[in-house]
Amino acid sequence: MDLLNTLVDKGLRREPPTRDEALAVLATSDDDLLDVVAAAGKVRRHWFGRRVKLNYLVNLKSGLCPEDCSYCSQRLGSKADILKYTWLKPEEAAAAAGAGVAGGAKRVCLVASGRGPTDRDVDRVSKTIAAIKEQNEDVEVCACLGLLSDGQAERLREAGADAYNHNLNTSEATYGDITTTHTYADRVETVRQAQAAGLSACSGLIAGMGESDEDLVDVVFALRELDPDSVPVNFLIPFEGTPLAKEWNLTPQRCLRILAMARFVCPDVEVRLAGGREVHLRSLQPLALHLANSIFLGDYLTSEGQAGKADLEMIADAGFEVEGADERTLPEHRADLAAGGHGPCGDANGEGVCGGSPGSVPPAERARTDLVAVRRRGTGTELPPNA
């Protein structure tokens, strides 16, 4: 297929596809799916080999968020029966992080619900980072605390944070349909604040919220322009008790096409297979490793994931290997940019251009509501974590 040959050539040169080419990837048929995966897999292996980076989530406080993000089980007005608890003590968070590191995680992601941290919250998280680094000196720590105020990114960096996550989630045009308590521009500004403070930026999307192919391409191209080091691709977990509980719009095949499109648009960036993979990719999860070079290990914030042992077996069975703590995740040219300031992602000179069918919808009787399992173990409980 000429399209795929063109996209592979561009990906190996770190050249962006056109919007039409990105849309064409999403419009490919299921008959062409393995060809699409193979083509994007060439780009993934060129920049990241067969390494898979493992990341581990620690939910520092759960529920009771004042924001109204429609996809979130912790949102204002959520009736989802999730765990609710206030801030973990630093030693509790460090113990949870240690379980993830013992399971092979290279990065620990510290997440707290809320609009954004107070200065006191930043102090709490700083103490937690110190406790984690004391026990696991080489582990990467990423904070995800919401919208940042002036100076907070710098304080987190000084405390030892390596990265900051704040997702764009969906296109600017449709953002107001998903959230009304803050804006798309607020999210972009927080990512830029993190980058300016010297933190590695992590920003991605959520697919499956009823968006169009054009929306998906819009948000991925916006991410390319914003140039985070990591792009998590989440697939909506339709929690009962949230406004999007009935949005079962994804098939395993569509998920793979979305991941392939993200890889072609941001060829040399850490593309992370994130929340919802078990629910929507199901038995096709191993194919996604040919597209993404990073996954979350074990459970998510408020839902249970695949067993950590099963994650490791899946990686090995698919012919991949867990990335070691002493291995560099990003290609050398991106690591150099991270040290000296970023240009648009994928551009060989740090200065380049930034810039179908919607897929089959499974009928209601095929929606796998049985796969949405609310987390009842790990942080905030007395049961051991899944790592």
Active-site entry in 14, 107, 187, 202 = 202
Strand ranges in 37-123 using DSSP code E only, listed in sequence order? 51-61, 107-112
Residue 146: which H helix or E strand, with range? none
- The one catalytic residue among 14, 44, 107, 142: 142
Catalytic pick among 14, 69, 254, 277:
69
14, 75, 107, 109: which one is catalytic?
Answer: 109
Rg (CA), the chain: 19
Distance CA 60, CA 109 (A): 10
d(CA 332, CA 85): 41
**CA 323 to CA 329: how far, in whole Å?**
8
Active site residue 120: no
Is 72 noted as a catalytic residue in this protein? yes
Residue 141's CB: how many other CB atoms inside 10 A? 23
d(CA 346, CA 353): 9
Which amino acid is present at 1?
A: M
Active-site choice (272, 277, 334, 375)? 272
To the query of whether residue 255 is one of the catalytic residues in this protein, the response is no
- Structure-token pair, residue 317: 């069975």
For residues 56 and 288, give the distance between their C-alpha atoms in angstroms, rounded to a whole number.
18
**Chain centroid, CA 164 distance in Å:** 12
Beta bridge partners of 321: 51
- Is 266 annotated in the active site? no
Question: Given 44, 72, 107, 266, which residue is catalytic?
Answer: 72
**No. of helices (H) and no. of strands (E), the chain:** 14, 10
65 a catalytic residue:
yes
Examine the residue annotation and report whether 109 is marked as an active-site residue of this protein: yes
Has 354 been annotated as catalytic? no
* Active-site residue (options: 14, 44, 65, 254): 65
Catalytic residues: 65, 69, 72, 109, 142, 202, 272
